[in-house]
């Protein structure tokens, strides 16, 4: 499926998402959409079977003014790519990657002016964050909380309200290169 050039707005009741990928969903392309004023801009979750989204692409989307996080990857089976998106003005995190997500790529995104952390990786593993601009967020720019085997490379991380990068709770085997 290709989802292109849409405005998806004002889905903010009881945790509603602008875009929800649930279960064994793959091969979708989300291109040049505006996701505005939703509870979550984009959310990826598993179904009861345990299968989670994989091999989906989000590119050149504008994800703004979410009541929670702009992107919440609660669970993934990997190979999801988030490229050249703008995430700004979200009340929570710009991007939140949770414990049951793995092997996703975030590249060339602008993550700015979010209420909390720009990119929060929570007890997760094997992600790549490359060439993102992570700016002016209300807390830290990037937090690796118990995260392992993740690459942060060539990111511009500056002028956040707290630390640029925070490693806590056993974060290990991560490569932070030329940020």
Contacts (Cβ under 8 Å, ≥6 apart) of 114: 70, 87, 88, 89, 90, 91, 92, 93, 94, 137, 138
Cα distances (Å, whole numbers) of residue 57 to 21, 51, 96, 139: 12, 18, 17, 28
- 14: confidence class by pLDDT, cuts 50, 70, 90: confident
Encode pLDDT of 27-83 as tens digits. Answer: 999 999 999 999 999 999 999 888 999 999 999 999 999 999 999 999 999 999 999
pTM of the model: 0.97
Other Cβ atoms closer than 10 A to 141:
29
DSSP 101: -
Other Cβ atoms closer than 10 A to 176:
16
Average pLDDT over residues 95-124: 97
Q: In whole numbers, what is the pLDDT of the chain averaged over residues?
A: 97
């Amino acid at each position: 499926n290709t989802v292109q050039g849409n405005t998806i707005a004002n889905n903010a009741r009881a945790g509603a998402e602008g875009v929800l990928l649930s279960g064994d969903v793959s091969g979708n392309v989300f291109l040049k959409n505006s996701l505005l004023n939703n509870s979550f801009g984009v959310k990826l979750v598993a179904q009861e079977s345990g299968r989670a989204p994989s091999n989906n692409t989000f590119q050149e989307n504008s994800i703004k003014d979410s009541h929670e996080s702009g992107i919440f990857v609660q669970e993934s089976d990997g190979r999801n790519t988030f490229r050249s998106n703008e995430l700004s003005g979200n009340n929570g995190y710009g991007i939140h990657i949770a414990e049951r997500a793995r092997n996703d790529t975030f590249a060339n995104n602008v993550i700015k002016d979010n209420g909390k952390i720009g990119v929060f990786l929570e007890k997760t593993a094997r992600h790549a964050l490359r060439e993102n601009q992570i700016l002016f967020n209300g807390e830290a720019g990037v937090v690796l909380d118990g995260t392992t085997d993740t690459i942060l490379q060539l990111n511009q991380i500056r002028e956040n309200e707290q630390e640029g990068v925070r490693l806590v709770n056993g974060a290990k085997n991560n490569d932070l290169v030329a940020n």
